[in-house]
Chains A and B, each alone.
Chain A
């Protein structure tokens, strides 16, 4: 799949932003269309809940629209938008922690992931289990890094952290996953 950066150029992006700022609100729909999948997937990685991710991604687009005047064009609109999406989703996650977690939605996500993995490979079920043991930020770092192969710099920009920190997080997460998987596989062998 082509990344949005290949679908919409920086110049096109800025031209659309100019039109939106000039009052042509409908031009914003083109920007939403280009980045909706990325924004939604980022929110989904953070929230692990589809309805909440939908709400967070929508909220992020609405916020970006209201703050469009403040967008300095040094970076790509997409980078700025993904950061807003990430922050909105993290903020929603914090708010949701105050409430009871929606058990129903969580079960759907996990069941889906487990079934998916079972179809492909039993080992993937164990990796999914090992993923759950990761520190939240390490898990997000590695998930975003692998999301259509974002660069470390892009993930760092999105998460508002130095790229060296993200590099350490991604490496630590890989290492921890490998260790956990080795442990799980060894215990499986013992059980057999």
Chain B
């Protein structure tokens, strides 16, 4: 599984990455987490409000920092 955290580096993006790693840990899953900070790339995913979360090239969340439990749900369903 390949996860991308989209955001130019503001506090929200950092928090989303942290929560994503916590969700992965709680599920006992292994995945690569990549940060995407380039605006053209972010916009390319159709995201207009950062932060965004992309799992295997599918946008699963945008515009807010979800709690680890919610992210775990999103990840477990894949």
The answer to whether A and B assemble together is no
